[in-house]
């Protein structure tokens, strides 16, 4: 089917976008208009070039109103939705929704935390979290590898890093899912209302913690932000709130989908599981190939600050552009036989599964560590990665991220008992 005949918002295409990507690459379509959303860019060279060109392809795609998660459709906000957003604390563009040099200043603040040493120091804690989760599941005939495991690891890790109570993690997940949808998806009126409620509840919650940390700093990321200075001035709450929101989102959805998509791959190719069990060092290249082959985040957005031509397509100023990380990972000019899963590729790490350019994911080292440790712990306790039901896998109803809703597996062994 010609690439122009695909509709990215079609549920069937969202469930399996790879035929669309294949058509795009076969036709060398450098930009594809998505009605009601914007322009899709999916060739690797173009994705990288646009990601670097922050002058034309700006990350401030929410405009001067700040990063309110209103959905990516251009429909005006309904009065009741606007009133909900207005009732929450004010926010301004920060970190994710800024461009250099402001982005560079905010990035320095969070880079201090997400160093290789910082990640290594948390490895033992991540393993303890994985073991605790598996202990709680021991003895059950089956479990949901997404809700019970893949969701919980990054939620607990980022809760600890931010310095917020673990007991609130299910609330964080609810807020995170809604806010992420508001940043990445097309929303109808009812969904906008849900997202606005979550945004207001989350920002009010974090305002209280930020102000508490200013009075009594602790060893956590919110304290670092609450006490940090840029050009000799403290950050305002309106700047800190979007940064905390970004860390919550980035420290959650990407890793969950990476773990889930990786388990799906093992179910589809059992020989890979045997290889990883025999050679644990291969878990890392395995995860890199998942990031290319079935990227947890399929695209992120930019807005054009000037007209720009890509191939035969003239993208107007003020247009929304989707940089297709997952589509670029299937570019045959970069990856031989891109539909084939091959963890022995010579250019394994040339994917853009964590983005590219100035906005490369700040938590990529943490995400890699979480996923690697999740599989090390899982292999130590799971006799084999086997489905507990025969229900068709249902993917999240979005073209921006990719992950399964649920994945029921046969149970884990009890503490201290080796896999069968």
Res. 419: pLDDT tops 70: no
Provide the β-strand partners of residue 401. Answer: 297
In the DSSP assignment, the letter for residue 96 is G
Alpha-carbon distance of 178 to 367, in angstroms, equals 21
**Lookup: tokens for 275:** 């290889």
| Mean pLDDT across 137-152 | 94
Structure confidence at residue 420 as a pLDDT band (50, 70, 90): very low
Q: Which of 301, 296, 310, 290 is nearest to 43 (CA)?
A: 310
E strand residue ranges, 193-349: 229-230, 233-234, 300-304, 308-310, 313-315, 320-323
Structural domains of the chain ordered from first start: 53-309+334-410 (1.10.630.10)
pLDDT value at position 36?
84
| Mean pLDDT across 315-336 | 97
Share of the chain above pLDDT 70, in %: 98
Q: Residue 417's Cα: distance from chain center in Å?
A: 34
CA separation, residue 122 to residues 119, 156, 162, 168 (Å): 5, 12, 13, 20
Name the CA dihedral angle for 103, 172, 385, 379, rounded to a multiple of 10 degrees: 70
| Mean pLDDT across 315-331 | 97
User: H-helix or E-strand containing 117?
Assistant: helix 116-121
| Mean pLDDT across 403-418 | 79
| Mean pLDDT across 218-230 | 88
Structure confidence at residue 194 as a pLDDT band (50, 70, 90): very high
**Helices and strands per DSSP (H, E), number in the chain:** 17, 11
Q: Are 304 and 322 in contact (CB under 8 A)?
A: no
pLDDT value at position 413?
74
**Lookup: tokens for 386:** 């086997």
pLDDT value at position 139?
86
Res. 417: pLDDT tops 60: no
| Backbone φ, ψ for residue 216 (5° rounding) | -140, 80
| Mean pLDDT across 260-264 | 98
Per-residue pLDDT tens over the stretch 103-114: 998 888 888 778
Task: Tell me the average pLDDT of the chain.
Answer: 92
Q: Are 52 and 357 in contact (CB under 8 A)?
A: yes
Res. 343: pLDDT tops 80: yes
pLDDT value at position 205?
95
Q: Which of 69, 14, 61, 54 is nearest to 38 (CA)?
A: 61
Res. 414: pLDDT tops 80: no
pLDDT value at position 322?
96
Q: 45-59, 241-255, 395-409: lowest mean pLDDT where?
A: 241-255
CA separation, residue 257 to residues 18, 20, 80, 104 (Å): 17, 21, 33, 28
Report the 10 Å Cβ neighbour count for 273: 20
Per-residue pLDDT tens over the stretch 226-256: 988 777 778 889 999 998 888 887 767 889 9
Cis peptide before 232 (omega within 30 of 0): no
Res. 88: pLDDT tops 70: yes
Share of the chain above pLDDT 90, in %: 70
| Mean pLDDT across 212-222 | 93
pLDDT value at position 415?
59
pLDDT value at position 196?
95
Per-residue pLDDT tens over the stretch 168-178: 888 888 998 89
Res. 312: pLDDT tops 50: yes
Q: Are 133 and 143 in contact (CB under 8 A)?
A: no
**Are β-strands 38-41 and 320-323 bridged in parallel, bridged antiparallel, or unpaired?**
parallel
pLDDT value at position 418?
44
In the DSSP assignment, the letter for residue 278 is H
Q: Structure pTM?
A: 0.93
């Amino acid at each position: 089917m010609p690439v122009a005949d695909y509709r990215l918002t079609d549920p069937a295409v969202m469930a399996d976008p790879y035929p669309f990507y294949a058509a795009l690459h076969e036709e060398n379509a450098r930009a594809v208009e998505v009605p009601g959303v914007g322009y899709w860019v999916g060739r690797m060279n173009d994705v990288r070039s646009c990601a670097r060109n922050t002058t034309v392809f700006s990350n401030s795609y929410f405009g001067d109103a700040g990063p309110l998660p209103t959905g990516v459709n251009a429909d005006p906000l309904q009065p009741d939705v606007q009133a909900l957003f207005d009732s929450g604390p004010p926010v301004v563009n920060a970190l994710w929704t800024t461009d250099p040099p402001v982005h560079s200043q905010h990035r320095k603040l969070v880079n201090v935390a997400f160093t290789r040493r910082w990640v290594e120091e948390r490895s033992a804690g991540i393993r303890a979290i994985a073991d605790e989760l598996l202990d709680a599941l021991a003895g059950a005939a089956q479990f949901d590898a997404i809700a019970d495991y893949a969701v919980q690891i990054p939620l607990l890790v980022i809760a600890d890093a931010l310095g917020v109570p673990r007991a609130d993690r299910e609330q964080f997940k609810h807020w995170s899912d809604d806010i992420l949808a508001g940043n990445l998806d097309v929303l109808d009126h009812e969904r906008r209302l849900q997202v606005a409620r979550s945004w207001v509840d989350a920002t009010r919650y974090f305002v209280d913690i930020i102000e508490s940390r200013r009075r009594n700093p602790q060893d956590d990321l919110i304290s670092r932000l609450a006490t940090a200075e840029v050009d000799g001035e403290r950050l305002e709450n309106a700047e800190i709130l979007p940064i905390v929101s970004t860390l919550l989102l980035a420290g959650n959805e990407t890793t969950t989908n990476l773990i889930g998509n990786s388990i799906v791959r093992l179910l589809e190719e059992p020989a890979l599981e045997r290889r990883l069990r025999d050679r644990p060092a291969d878990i890392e290249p395995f995860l890199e190939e998942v990031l290319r082959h079935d990227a947890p985040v399929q695209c992120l957005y930019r807005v054009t600050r000037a007209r720009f031509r890509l191939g035969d397509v003239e993208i107007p100023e003020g247009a929304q552009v989707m940089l297709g990380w997952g589509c670029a990972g299937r570019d045959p000019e970069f990856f031989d036989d891109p539909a084939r899963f091959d963890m022995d590729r010579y250019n394994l790490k040339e994917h853009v599964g964590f983005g590219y350019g100035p906005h490369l994911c700040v938590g990529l080292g943490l995400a890699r560590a979480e996923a690697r440790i999740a599989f090390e712990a899982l292999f130590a306790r799971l006799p084999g990665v086997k489905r507990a039901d025969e229900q068709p896998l249902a993917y999240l109803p979005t073209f921006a991220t990719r992950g399964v809703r649920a994945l029921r597996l046969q149970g884990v062994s009890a503490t201290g008992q080796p896999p069968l």
